[in-house]
Structures are given as structure tokens and as C-alpha cells.
């Protein structure tokens, strides 16, 4: 619209301060410290760092991989969201939960589970004698990363859809002679663009910084990425040269991501936004079944079996057998691994982790909401980019940065771990909301203001409730990710602040697959149980689609 009347109000200013403050604390300052370190300690060795053999290849690998994964995972997630939105889909509710399962598995375990499912001597190999040797190597890395990213894009686009039901817009297309498919292509999807953009940015960045899966499935085939390079350097970072090299690489990653994200957010983003006209949404039609639904369900089911069921099965097998290579026949079943995960020593770690994750996720939901709202103003956009940089920093580097910045005071406390989670996951909490917020017609906020609501109240009562799905989506991702996060906390923890992942995974070297598997099985159960009522709540919250 024209010059929208700017009516901030003091409360609004407070929010701005809080958000800016957090952004500075968890992203700007640590990044700054890293830059400083590099500046002070690369005594012209930058050239040397950049000329490390294989680095070029790693960089190419990283970006090609990120592009490819984004190109495949986003459409896949979108398709899933559209499919699961159909009211006539059989077993819809089950699917809605199943699609999310991959998020629950820690990445490195996910990589392992795929190797066990499809690799040499894996499930398929032993059962039907068909192995996919490519699972170790670029192919495997790509596929598993895609599978890992689909739930994310699904959540984001689904949230976008749920934020505002507009049946009449599609009806208008149909009545203009558009088939279902054309209607999707020309109306539904274009209206989802902001959500799709949000998903794309997230997936892209997520792939750039992904470490565990390339490490587990890529390295054996000599497939290297920037993150694995960084890891290698860190391994020898007792030597200052290697340390600086690692940091330098991380900063390069951040810088190059910044370029991409800025391009996406500042240049493309605004174009994708379309101002909604607030009009009666059109009466919702009662559901009527159509034959296509059954096929859809079948396809979806197949996909889930291949990408979720089999790998999960492999995990379960590993969790129930005493050691790798022991055939998972009932005779060999044991609960040792599960016991090891659930023993008293891990118990308070588990409590701590749940508390930490709950706190982080909830805080993040608030921060994400606030930022998304600020983002409507121009200055906010910059912030959203900054926040995204926190996500792209490889976990280990981010942890180091935080230690350098705050270790002196809060090193080894849960506080610093919380900061790390905030820095890492803020983008997760923010992008879905901002993607969905774009569907809000300005007049609806005005109506609230004209009813006596302050800027903030109007956002709280009008803008956010329809975004409950988006917020919940963000919350869920943050919670789960924080729950099995290990890269950062294993570097940050101290006496009395060990997280569950640290105790269970890091304490036994990651090689002890049995326990790692048991761990993710426990996690899956521990998270799915509360997740189910959460999803029921979500379905009630969303303005009906």
C-alpha cells in the first residue's frame, strides 16, 4: 500500500531491542570474534589455507550438493504438503506424523541406518540380495540429505497452506477452465511462493553446513565437503595453523552463504510477496472422496517405506543386537544398548536435555515470531539474513566462536549451550513464520488496530494465531534438533551441563553403533509420544484447509 501509517508504540520498540540484542549476542559478536582471530593469526597464510589440496573440489562438491538437494527436496516436500492437505486422503493423520520421522533421527545415525538398510551386507542385501553400493558416496549423501530435508520443506509449505485457506481462489481457476493440475500450478503454488522461498533457503543452508551425513557416507568414497575439511583441520587444531585454517574455511562458508541468502531475501523475496486482499475466504466445501486419493496414498506409502520404514528397521535391529554384524534374530536380541541409554547416569542428562530443548524451542518460537513481524519493515530483512548466518556456521565452529566470545564467563555452563542452540536454530523458528505471515492481508491488522489494539496486541491476537501451525512447525524442528544435537554441546559442555547426546553418544565413541541406534530409538519414542497430541492440537488450531 501507500505509506502505511507507522504506529510503533513503545512495546514495539522493546521487541525490536530484544530481537536486535539477541541477534547481536548469538550471531554478530561470535562471528566478529572469529573474523578477528583470523585477521590476527593468519600471518599471510590465507593463501596457504586456500591452496590446500582438495579444497577446491570440496567447495564445488558442497555447493553442487546444496543446489541439487534444494532442487529435489523442496518440490518433494511441497508435493507431500499438497497431498496431505487433501481431506479425502486415506490415513491422512498417520502420514502426517510418519513424514516427520526422519527429523527425529540424529543425522549421523541416519547416515548409518541407510548404510545398514541398503549398503553391502545391509537389510536389502541379506534379504533380497540387492545392495546399493552407491549409498556410500555422493549418491548416498545426496539421497539421505534429501530425505532429511523433505520433512522440513513439508512443514514449511504445510504451514504456509494452513495459515490461510482460500478455496474460492482455486474455484475461480477451475471455473475459468483450469484442470486440478493447472489450478495447482497457476494459483495454489504461486500463492505459496514465500513459504517455498523460505524452505529453499533453509534447505540450501542446511545442506551447506551438513556434516554428519557427508562424513559417514561421503568420506569412505573420498567425497569431501567444506564441512568435512573443516573437521579435518579442527582435528589437528591444537596446532594454531590448522585452527586458523578451520576457522577461515568456516568464515568462507558463511560469507558465500551470506551472498546467496541476501540475494534470495533482499532481491527475490519482496517480489514473491503479494499483498492479500482481505475478502470472505469462501465457504469451505464438505469433503468428497475422489479416486485419485487412493493412488496418492499408495505412492506416499511406498515413499515412506523406502525412506523411513527400512532405515528405521535397520536402526531397531542395531539397537537390539549386542554388536555390529550380529544377525538381528530374536535369539540375539538384547536390551543392553537400551539400558545403557536409559541407565541412571543418563537420566539427569535426559532431564537436562529435555529442559534445554523445551526452553530453547519455546524461546526460539517467540524470537522467530518477533523477527518475522519486524521483518515486515525494511530493517528487519537484514536481521533475518544475519540470523540465517548463525545456521550456516558449522556446529563445531559456532561452538568455538561462542567459547571465544563468552567462555571466559559462562564456559561449560548450560547457558552457553542454550546460546548455541539459539544461534543455530533461530532461522528454523523464523523462516516458517515469515513465510506464512506473507499471507496476511493488511486490512486484517488494521481492523484490529481500529478495534483498539496496539501494534503488538494486533500482531499477537491477529497475525500469530493463524500462524500457529507455522510456529508449531518451527517449534517442533527446534525441539527435536536441540534434543539430539551433539556437535556443539560435546564441545561446550562442562561438569553438570552434559546433554543427553553428549553422555550417550560422545561418551561412547560414535563408532559404538548399537548405543547410538538405541539412543535414536529412545528419542523417536520419547518425541513421538508428545508429538502426537501436539499434532492434534495443530490440526485444531489451523484455520481449516
Residues in region 275-294 near ligand ATP by CB under 6 A: 283-284
Range list of H helices, 86-104? 92-98, 101-104
User: 3-state class of 412 per DSSP?
Assistant: strand
126-130-133-134 Cα dihedral, nearest 10 degrees: -130
Q: Which stretch binds other proteins (CB under 8 A): 63-71, 80-88, 273-281, 360-368?
A: 273-281
Residue 446 CB, nearest approach to other proteins (Å): 5
Binding partner of 279, given other proteins, ligand ATP, none, CB within 5-8 angstroms per partner class = other proteins
Which of 19, 234, 315, 478 binds other proteins (CB under 8 A)? It is 234
Instruction: Report the alpha-carbon angle 464-470-474, nearest 5.
Output: 115
- Tell me if 232 contacts other proteins by CB under 8 A: yes
Nearer to other proteins, 74 or 467 (CB): 467
Interface residue with other proteins among 332, 343, 347, 379 (CB under 8 A) is 332
Nearer to other proteins, 207 or 489 (CB): 489
CB within 8 Å of 440: residues ≥ 6 apart: 163, 164, 276, 462, 463, 466
Is residue 39 near ligand ATP by the rule CB under 6 A? Answer: no
DSSP string, 208-229: HH--HHIIIIIGGGT---HHHH
Site for other proteins in 343-382 (CB under 8 A): none
Which of 1, 259, 267, 277 touches ligand ATP (CB under 6 A)?
Answer: 1
Binding string, 380-419, against other proteins, x = CB under 8 A? ----------------x--xx--xxxxxx--xx-------
Beta bridge mates, 512: none
d(CA 29, CA 23): 9
Q: CB neighbours of 541 closer than 8 A, spacing ≥ 6?
A: 465, 468, 469, 472
- Which one, 353 or 405, has the nearer CB to other proteins? 405
Contact between 508 and other proteins (CB under 8 A)? Answer: yes
Show contacts with other proteins in window 68-127 (CB under 8 A). 112, 115-116, 119-122
How many whole angstroms separate alpha carbon 540 and alpha carbon 531? 14
Of residues 469-498, those binding other proteins (CB under 8 A): 490-491, 493-495
The item of ligand ATP, other proteins, none sharing an interface with residue 23, based on CB under 5 to 8 Å by kind, is: none
Q: Looking at 80-88, 202-210, 275-283, 476-484, which segment touches other proteins (CB under 8 A)?
A: 275-283
CA pair distance 230, 470, nearest whole angstrom = 33
Q: Please give the full DSSP string across 371-401, using - where no structure is assigned.
A: HHHHTTSHHHHHHHHHHHHHHHS-HHHHHHH
Write out the residues near ligand ATP by the rule CB under 6 A.
1, 283-284
Amino acid at each position: 500500500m501507500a505509506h502505511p501509517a507507522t504506529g510503533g508504540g513503545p512495546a514495539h520498540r522493546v521487541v525490536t531491542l530484544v530481537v536486535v540484542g539477541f541477534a547481536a549476542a548469538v550471531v554478530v559478536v561470535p562471528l566478529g570474534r572469529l573474523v578477528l582471530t583470523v585477521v590476527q593469526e593468519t600471518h599471510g597464510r590465507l593463501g596457504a589455507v586456500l591452496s590446500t589440496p582438495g579444497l577446491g573440489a570440496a567447495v564445488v562438491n558442497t555447493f553442487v550438493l546444496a543446489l541439487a538437494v534444494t532442487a529435489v527436496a523442496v518440490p518433494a516436500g511441497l508435493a507431500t504438503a499438497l497431498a496431505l492437505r487433501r481431506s479425502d486422503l486415506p490415513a491422512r493423520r498417520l502420514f502426517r506424523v510418519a513424514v516427520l520421522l526422519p527429523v527425529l533421527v540424529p543425522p549421523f545415525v541416519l547416515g548409518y541406518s541407510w548404510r545398514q538398510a541398503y549398503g553391502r551386507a545391509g537389510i536389502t542385501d541379506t534379504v533380497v540380495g540387492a545392495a546399493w553400493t552407491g549409498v556410500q558416496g555422493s549418491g548416498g549423501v545426496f539421497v539421505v540429505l534429501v530425505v532429511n530435508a523433505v520433512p522440513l520443506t513439508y512443514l514449511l509449505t504445510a504451514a504456509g497452506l494452513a495459515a490461510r485457506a482460500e478455496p474460492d481462489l482455486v474455484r475461480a481457476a477451475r471455473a475459468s477452465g483450469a484442470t486440478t493440475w493447472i489450478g495447482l500450478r497457476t494459483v495454489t503454488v504461486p500463492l505459496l511462493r514465500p513459504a517455498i522461498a523460505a524452505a529453499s533457503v533453509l534447505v540450501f543452508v542446511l545442506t551447506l553446513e551438513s556434516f554428519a551425513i557427508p562424513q559417514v557416507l561421503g568420506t569412505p568414497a573420498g567425497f569431501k565437503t567444506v564441512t568435512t575439511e573443516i573437521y579435518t583441520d579442527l582435528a589437528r587444531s591444537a596446532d594454531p595453523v590448522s585452527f586458523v585454517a578451520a576457522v577461515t574455511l568456516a568464515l568462507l562458508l558463511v560469507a558465500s552463504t551470506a551472498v546467496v541468502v541476501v540475494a534470495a531475501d533482499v532481491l527475490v523475496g519482496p517480489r514473491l510477496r503479494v499483498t492479500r486482499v482481505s475478502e470472505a475466504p469462501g465457504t469451505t466445501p464438505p469433503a468428497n472422496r475422489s479416486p485419485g486419493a487412493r493412488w496418492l496414498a499408495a505412492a506416499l506409502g511406498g515413499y515412506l517405506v523406502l525412506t523411513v520404514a527400512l532405515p528405521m528397521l535397520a536402526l531397531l535391529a542395531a539397537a537390539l543386537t549386542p554388536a555390529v554384524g550380529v544377525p538381528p534374530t530374536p535369539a540375539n536380541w538384547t536390551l543392553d544398548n537400551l539400558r545403557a541409554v536409559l541407565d541412571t547416569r543418563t537420566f539427569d542428562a535426559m532431564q537436562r536435555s529435555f529442559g534445554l530443548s523445551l526452553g530453547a524451542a519455546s524461546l526460539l518460537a517467540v524470537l522467530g515470531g518477533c523477527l518475522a513481524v519486524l521483518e515486515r519493515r525494511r530493517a528487519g530483512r537484514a536481521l533475518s539474513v544475519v540470523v540465517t548466518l548463525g545456521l550456516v556456521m558449522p556446529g563445531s565452529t559456532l561452538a568455538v566462536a561462542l567459547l571465544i566470545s563468552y567462555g571466559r564467563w559462562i564456559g561449560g555452563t548450560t547457558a552457553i549451550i542454550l546460546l548455541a542452540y539459539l544461534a543455530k536454530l533461530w532461522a528454523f523458528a523464523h523462516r516458517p513464520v515469515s513465510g506464512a505471515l506473507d499471507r496476511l492481508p493488511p486490512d486484517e491488522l488494521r481492523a484490529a488496530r481500529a478495534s483498539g489494539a496496539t501494534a503488538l496486541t494486533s500482531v499477537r491476537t491477529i497475525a500469530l494465531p493463524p500462524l500457529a501451525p507455522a510456529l508449531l512447525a518451527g517449534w517442533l524442528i527446534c525441539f527435536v534438533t536441540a534434543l539430539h544435537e551433539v556437535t556443539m554441546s560435546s564441545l561446550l559442555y562442562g561438569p553438570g551441563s552434559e546433554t543427553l547426546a553428549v553422555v550417550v553418544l560422545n561418551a561412547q565413541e560414535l563408532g559404538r553403533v548399537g548405543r547410538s541406534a538405541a539412543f535414536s530409538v529412545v528419542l523417536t519414542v520419547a518425541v513421538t509420544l508428545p508429538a502426537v497430541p501436539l499434532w492434534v492440537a495443530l490440526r485444531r488450531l489451523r484455520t481449516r484447509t
